[in-house]
A = this chain, B = another copy of it.
Amino acid sequence: MRILHHHPLHALSRVARVMLAEKAIPFESVIEKPWERRDAFMRLTPAGDVPVLVEEDGVVVAGGLALIEYLEEAYPDTPLLPREVARRAEVRRIADWFLFKFEREVTENLVGEKLIKRLSGQGHPFAPAIRAGLANIHYHLDYIAFLSERRPWLAGPTFSLADIAAAASLSCLDYIDNVPWDKNPEAKDWYARIKSRPSFRAILADNITGCPPPRHYADLDF
């Protein structure tokens, strides 16, 4: 069986899980705490980052973005990128936005400071970073609202990697109850549609020992 090494509160890991589920590709889940730098894991990837996929034939795919593109190329049924080149670029532009810009401006400041530091035992939450993350999340939600008012899905007429990247990122924040859904009904409507997809079920079932999610996290009618 192919194996996905991932961490439940890591956005790129969640993207890989949702892509595999959308494409109906079975996999065994191994939760990896990258900060432990486990020997067997480091042998798979010298970078030491999740996610890493190990295929049944032994092929190892490491590097989050490399894995996204690999999944799309190796399993082209149920495509998550459109066919036309300029539209593919628009999907990837929005995916980049969430996986890098949102990650840096919001996720690292909130999930990183509040939760990953606690789980890894590396340092204490840094209050100015948390304030920055709480301030920054609003304009990202506004951007989701802006896009979803103009298009059925974030990058165009079809559900795509852009929606998966944005939802995977936001779901990590929602796990620690840091998404002000009530202030942004358009973004909430879009996220409600993602939550109801079968591919998101495993994400909504995540429950980290000692750090349970808030009650609304898994609720489809939040």
Q: Which listed residue, B61, B65, B73, B90, touches A65 by the CB 8 Å rule?
A: B65
Q: Is A117 an interface residue (CB 8 A)?
A: no
- Of A16-24, A93-101, A170-178, A201-209, which binds chain B? A93-101
Q: Is A114 an interface residue (CB 8 A)?
A: no
Q: Is A89 an interface residue (CB 8 A)?
A: yes
Q: Give a binary string over A94-134; 1 marks a CB under 8 Å from any B CB, 0 the rest.
A: 11110001000000000000000000000000000000000
Q: A65-B65, A143-B46 are in contact. Are A70 and B88 (CB under 8 A)?
A: yes
Could you tell me the distance between the alpha carbons of A94 and B61 in the complex, rounded to whole angstroms?
11
CB pair A89–B70 under 8 Å, yes or no, is: yes
- Report the nearest B residue to A53, measured CB to CB: B89
Could you tell me the distance between the alpha carbons of A63 and B50 in the complex, rounded to whole angstroms?
22
Q: A69-B69, A101-B47 are in contact. Are A85 and B96 (CB under 8 A)?
A: no
CB pair A69–B93 under 8 Å, yes or no, is: no
A interface, over-half SS: helix
Q: Which listed residue, B46, B85, B96, touches A73 by the CB 8 Å rule?
A: B85
- With both chains docked as a complex, state the minimum distance between the C-beta of A15 and any C-beta of chain B, in angstroms: 13
Q: Which of A136-174 contact B (CB under 8 A)?
A: 143
- Report the nearest B residue to A87, measured CB to CB: B59
CB pair B65–A89 under 8 Å, yes or no, is: no
Q: Is A92 an interface residue (CB 8 A)?
A: yes
- A49 contacts across to B, CB distance below 8 A: 101
Pairs A-B, 6 closest by C-beta atoms: A66-B92, A63-B96, A63-B93, A70-B89, A66-B93, A61-B89
